Amino acid sequence: ARYNQYKGERTAFFYHFDVVNDRAVSRALFDAAFDWVRGRGLDLMWGPKGFIAADGQGLLVEGFEHRP
């Protein structure tokens, strides 16, 4: 709430994303999250974010065999 007041935005954040390797499961999870966000009058969702601000955000979709 403070972020949105300060920035003048209506943004929701999510911090951790882990799911089985099944697109239908991922889709259902994000659809539920988007419904939750819209139901609270928010219009943007950012993530996944790290647990602290220095972690940044991102999602690995390929290249799992490489070290970060």
**3-state helix/strand/coil string of 41-54:** CCCEEECCECCCHH
Count of domains for the chain: 1
Distance (Å, whole) CA 44 – CA 38: 9
In a domain? residue 65: no
pLDDT tens digits, 27-43: 999 999 999 999 999 99
pTM above threshold 0.85 = no
At 53 the pLDDT is 65
Identify which has the larger pLDDT, 14 or 9. Answer: 9
**Torsion sign across C-alpha atoms 65, 48, 20, 26:** negative
In a domain? residue 38: yes
Instruction: Report residue 41 CA to chain centroid gap.
Output: 17
Say whether pLDDT at 68 is over 70. no
In a domain? residue 42: yes
In a domain? residue 34: yes
At 15 the pLDDT is 82
Helix (H) or strand (E) holding 44: strand 44-46
Helix (H) or strand (E) holding 38: helix 23-39
Structural domain span for residue 15: 2-53
In a domain? residue 48: yes
